[in-house]
Amino acid sequence: MLLLSTCMVQEGQPPTDEQRGELERALKTVVRDHVGPKARLAVAWMTVPKGSAYSAGKPSKSSLVQVGVPDGFGQSAREALMHDVNDRWCAITGQTRFELLVGAMDQTPGRQAVKGILSQIPLTQKPRFLKDYLTHAIRSLARG
Amino acid sequence: MPLYTCIADSRTSDEKRERIAVAITEAHCKHTGAPAEFVHVFFNDYLGGASKADLRIAGNIRAGRPPDLKAKLHAEIVARVTEILSSSPSRVNLLLQEVPAEWAMEGGEVLPTPGSERDWMKKHWSADEEEAPAHPATQ
């Protein structure tokens, strides 16, 4: 079973490149622990330009991590997975729990959400976006 | 949540980005009653000079709100962004997508359903925690 995780982070803010590798490994472990040993996770990174993120209308340091789970995944298991992602992410990056948004969407609507973002990118820029997005995901899969 | 991902032109100034973030936040809070602290706006620079739009926005909001409320929210965001960019409504594209609240977490807690945010914030974002964002519910 192949699942997709999208991490939206900010240029100049945690995680560092080194931490990204550690986070990828942690996310894969979390998914195996909560979804099952056969679950494979591809992690894609989207980096927001420096100073281009806001919370409550003010500049923020927040990151977002969305982890796809199988359709119909139970709520108690979903919550346990999100707590585990939250705890590990904050421990690795030093970000506080208030600087992190965690999502665990069923994989089908999760893909729709990514498609929603993709649909907002002009045709001429789609190759650049897909190259950025998919390169990370494919490399992540290759790393096992 | 909500998370508004704005696909912008790299030439859009920081000042305009901040004004857009404030406008989206104010519109979202006005129409949904959600606290401002829940509203996140991220910009990505994927619009080129030949684009048919001046700003494209993908907004992920919590599910469970009536269609007329979402229509008003949509209309106000488009109108305010249009004004900030001195653009036209046809060049500001907003897509609203709904996500179940229980599929997301902020501040280490699963998000509340729309309408129960204040109680949730009082319960989970205690005022004595230094990192917690300041919010009306605890002031």
Most confident of A103-117, B11-25, B45-59: B11-25
pLDDT value, residue B138: 33
A11 neighbourhood in chain B, CB within 8 Å: none
Q: Which of A80, A56, A66, A83 is nearest to A9 (CA)?
A: A66
Averaged pLDDT of chain A: 92
In the A/B pair of chains, how many CB contacts fall below 8 A? Answer: 141
Task: Tell me the average pLDDT across A70-96.
Answer: 97
Interface contact flag, B48 A97, Cβ < 8 Å: no
Per-residue pLDDT, B134 = 56
Please judge whether A119 and B14 are an interchain contact, meaning their C-beta atoms are less than 8 angstroms apart: no
Helix axis angle, A126-142 relative to A107-119, nearest 10°?
150
Residue B111 has pLDDT above 60, yes or no: yes
Mean local confidence (pLDDT), A109-130: 83
> Cβ(A16)–Cβ(A47) under 8 Å?
no
pLDDT in tens, A86-103: 999 999 999 999 999 999
pLDDT confidence of residue A126:
83
What integer pLDDT is reported at residue B53 of this predicted model?
83
> What distance in Å separates the CA atoms of residue A135 and residue A143, rounded to the nearest whole number?
12
Percentage with pLDDT > 90 across chain A: 72
User: So what's the pLDDT on residue A85?
Assistant: 98
Q: Does A2 touch chain B (CB under 8 A)?
A: no
Residue A125 has pLDDT above 90, yes or no: no
Q: Is the pLDDT of residue B110 over 90?
A: yes
Q: What is the pTM of this model?
A: 0.90
The pLDDT of residue B135 is above 70: no
Between the alpha carbon of residue B73 and those of residues B23, B79, B93, the distances in Å are: 11, 10, 13
Mutate to test the interface with B, among A34, A48, A55 (most CBs of B within 10 A): A55
Give CA–CA dist B5/A54, Å, rounded. 11
The closest alpha carbon to B7, from B66, B51, B67, belongs to B51
Distances (CA, A) of A44 to A23, A24, A30, B125: 12, 9, 16, 30
Average pLDDT over residues B59-78: 97
The sheet with strand A100-103 has its strands ordered as A40-48, A2-10, A63-67, A100-103, B104-106, B109-110
Is B39 in contact with A57 (Cβ distance < 8 A)?
yes
Which of the residue ranges A11-15, B36-40, B49-53, B69-73 has the most confident prediction, judged by mean pLDDT? B69-73
Helix (H) or strand (E) holding B59: strand B55-62
Interface of A with B in 62-101 (CB under 8 A): 62, 64, 75, 78-79, 82-83, 86-87, 96-101
Contact B25 A56 (CB under 8 A): yes
A91: closest CA of chain B, how far (Å)? 13
Residue B136 has what pLDDT? 41
Written as one string, the DSSP assignment of B68-135 is: HHHHHHHHHHHHHHHHHTT--GGGEEEEEEEE-GGGEEETTEEPPPTT-HHHHHHHHS-TT-TTSPP-
Q: Which residues of B touch A8 (CB under 8 A)?
A: 5, 42
Kindly state the percentage of chain B with pLDDT values over 70. 88
